[in-house]
Amino acid sequence: MIIVAIGWLYVVVMIAAVSDTLLKAVVRVLFLGVLPIAILLWTRGLRRPKRREDGQESTEAGNT
């Protein structure tokens, strides 16, 4: 998943590099790059700690 995010950011930066003005480039990077990647990582990050907690509880239950 991380490699896809890195590839997407590369594409967005290349699109921004050929923009007419600096303002257009910044807006494109923010709305096409940073915002979608932040949402993706946020949603994936919320699921991961729950799995860790479930895994730790099952491990602790197995040791007692």
| Whole-structure pTM value | 0.64
pLDDT in tens, 26-50: 999 999 999 999 998 888 876 655 6
In a domain, 55, yes or no: no
Nearest-angstrom CA–CA distance, 42 and 35: 10
In a domain, 59, yes or no: no
In a domain, 57, yes or no: no
Q: Residue 24's pLDDT band (boundaries 50, 70, 90)?
A: very high
Q: Residue 19's pLDDT band (boundaries 50, 70, 90)?
A: very high
In a domain, 64, yes or no: no
Q: Residue 7's pLDDT band (boundaries 50, 70, 90)?
A: very high
**Residue ranges making up the domain that contains 14:** 2-48
In a domain, 12, yes or no: yes
Q: Is 20's pLDDT higher than 90?
A: yes
What is the count of structural domains for the chain? 1
Question: DSSP state, 21?
Answer: S
